[in-house]
Amino acid sequence: MEDGDPPLDKGISRVEVGTSGVDRSASPSSAHGEMEVGTPVQSLPASPSIPWGRLSIILSAPLAVMVAMINFAPLLPMLREELALSNAWAGALASATILSHTALQLPAGYLADRIGVKRSVELGAVVVALSTMASGLAPGIEALLVSRFVLGLGTATVFVSALTCVNLAVPPERRVVAQGFFGASANVGVLMVLLFSERVARWGGWRGVFLAEGIVILGIAWLFATRLRLDESRSRTAPASWRATLLDRPLYLLGLAHTLSYGVFTALSTWAAALLFEGYGIGLEWAGPLAALLPAASVTARSLGGALSVGRERQVIVVSTFATAAGVGLLAMGPGPHLVLLVLVVLGCSTSLPFGSIFSYVSYVSPQGASGRGFSLVNFVGNVGALLFPPMIGYALDATGSFGPGFGLVAAAALLGGAMVALWLPRVPSTPA
């Protein structure tokens, strides 16, 4: 039906245009209700498909970011032995990257809007690759810390810009699905590090692992530069202002939801193995693999969450947040050993299902649409939660000798935050940009 056609009335069979484009409604054949041969029958437009070729290139970015950020974790015993690191210095390796990654979220959004998201990913990926290789060549802890700090600058740039790439590359109706795969790709990077880093290190040591990863990430930068095609005209013709972004309350609510999903997931990932070992007496040889149920469930949930959330993004965000509050509350009460594993699987799902909804919703509630600054603000708030929740649980554990109080504080935060999101996040999104 053309834009100027009147709506079809009930009970009226109407064929407007034949092959010549002439109105046939008054012809003898149509007067008797017969359809002329050759008259085209118009059908409803098909739902737009996901451009899988472009999306597959974009999905390599979050995978590379997570591999680079946590690559040292399974190799920490080797690093500590060779560099004679204390526990404090070992913890500083993680903090150096997370701090710079979090601090650079907002500047990374500005850079993406300024030079374009594709070029921003390329630049950030080169920084990630070179700093990862520099880590493998570091002669001591000081040089290693510097390279890990610079790494966070690159990962922040890549992650925020790649998030924006998804919403520019994928039709609005399919963005939530694509963002779900984006989140799943990041957690696939986590699983790859946990499963393969130690095996690769048997051939080239921890330095060889870092050098190999840096080369692969340079390849990803090359893919973006030579194979990815994006129309960035929407983000460039109406650039976002910092004032508009920072005064956009729904973005803070989405950031809060991200804190209560990604932030809680980070805290649980940090303490799950210790909880099983210290709280339930499960040996270390089993505590680690059983704790991996959490990220394994997360990969599946982020992949499926996008498809399940189409048309109900807000409901998924709210329900998942309350489910997370309930699950962490159960952990605080100390469930039995079999139930605690089930709770970890459920929490892996509830903290990961809303990822696609949160970042597709940015285009709905932000006046700038697919703006790098909007994505950077949401991700910045979520990373603040990832910085606060793990030490909060650790401090409560030191003070009380039990995991219960720390998990109780996180559950209370999730419950309160979920209520805020349910009350104030806009219900009816505008047309996404």
SS (H, E, C) 165-184: HHHHHCCHHHHHHHHHHHHH
Q: What is the pLDDT of residue 19?
A: 38
End-to-end CA distance of the chain: 25
Q: What is the pLDDT of residue 236?
A: 46
Q: What is the pLDDT of residue 222?
A: 96
Cβ(344)–Cβ(388) under 8 Å? Answer: no
User: Residue 308 — pLDDT band, cuts 50, 70, 90?
Assistant: confident
User: In the block, which residue shows the tokens 């993004």?
Assistant: 313
Q: What is the pLDDT of residue 120?
A: 95
pLDDT above 70: percentage of residues in the chain: 83
Question: Which of 30-44, 70-84, 225-239, 401-415 is least confident?
Answer: 30-44
DSSP track, 217-276: HHHHHHHHHHH-----HHHHHSPPPHHHHHT-HHHHHHHHHHIIIIIHHHHHHHHHHHII
Most confident segment among 16-20, 195-199, 368-372, 375-379? 375-379
- Tell me how crowded residue 326 is: count the other CB atoms within 10 A of its CB: 17
Give the pLDDT mean for 242-252. 85
Q: What is the pLDDT of residue 176?
A: 85
Q: Tell if the pTM clears 0.75, that is, is over it.
A: no
Cβ(295)–Cβ(419) under 8 Å? Answer: no
Examine the pLDDT at 28 and tell me if it is beyond 60: no
Query: What is the set of domains in the chain, with CATH numbers?
Result: 51-237 (1.20.1250.20), 239-433 (1.20.1250.20)
Higher pLDDT, 308 or 162: 162
Q: Minimal CA–CA distance to 112: which of 377, 358, 382?
A: 377
Length of the chain: 433
Most confident segment among 181-185, 274-278, 406-410? 406-410
Q: How far is CA 316 from CA 258, 353, 413, in A?
A: 12, 7, 18
Give the pLDDT mean for 180-207. 85
Q: What is the pLDDT of residue 207?
A: 93
Most confident segment among 230-244, 297-311, 363-377? 297-311
Residues 6+ apart with CB under 8 A from 11: none
Higher pLDDT, 170 or 433: 170
Sign of CA dihedral 298, 300, 302, 305: negative
User: Residue 240 — pLDDT band, cuts 50, 70, 90?
Assistant: low
C-alpha span between 255 and 233 (Å, rounded): 26
Examine the pLDDT at 409 and tell me if it is beyond 90: yes
Cβ(155)–Cβ(129) under 8 Å? Answer: no
Average pLDDT for the chain: 82
Q: Minimal CA–CA distance to 143: which of 76, 214, 89, 187?
A: 89
C-alpha span between 28 and 367 (Å, rounded): 54
DSSP state letter for 11 = T
C-alpha span between 235 and 232 (Å, rounded): 6
Q: How far is CA 203 from CA 35, 67, 78, 206, in A?
A: 74, 19, 13, 9
**Sequence letter at residue 362:** V
Q: What is the pLDDT of residue 271?
A: 86
Higher pLDDT, 46 or 402: 402
Distance of CA 2 to the CA centre of its chain: 40
- Tell me how crowded residue 273 is: count the other CB atoms within 10 A of its CB: 19
Question: Which of 266-270, 282-286, 342-346 is least confident?
Answer: 282-286
C-alpha span between 343 and 326 (Å, rounded): 10
DSSP state letter for 139 = S
Cβ(196)–Cβ(93) under 8 Å? Answer: no
Q: What is the pLDDT of residue 46?
A: 57
Q: What is the pLDDT of residue 339?
A: 93
User: Residue 284 — pLDDT band, cuts 50, 70, 90?
Assistant: low
User: Residue 21 — pLDDT band, cuts 50, 70, 90?
Assistant: very low
**Cα angle 392, 395, 399; round to 5:** 140
- Tell me how crowded residue 245 is: count the other CB atoms within 10 A of its CB: 23
User: Residue 193 — pLDDT band, cuts 50, 70, 90?
Assistant: confident
Cβ(180)–Cβ(302) under 8 Å? Answer: yes
Examine the pLDDT at 431 and tell me if it is beyond 50: no
Higher pLDDT, 257 or 105: 257
Examine the pLDDT at 22 and tell me if it is beyond 90: no
Examine the pLDDT at 113 and tell me if it is beyond 70: yes
C-alpha span between 360 and 355 (Å, rounded): 9
Examine the pLDDT at 268 and tell me if it is beyond 50: yes
Q: What is the pLDDT of residue 182?
A: 92
Give the pLDDT mean for 1-27. 39
Helix, strand and coil in the chain, % to nearest 5: 75, 0, 25
DSSP track, 46-114: PPPPP-HHHHHHHHHHHHHHHHHHHTTGGGHHHHHHHHT--HHHHHHHHHHHHHHHHHTHHHHHHHHHH
Examine the pLDDT at 143 and tell me if it is beyond 50: yes
C-alpha span between 350 and 252 (Å, rounded): 20
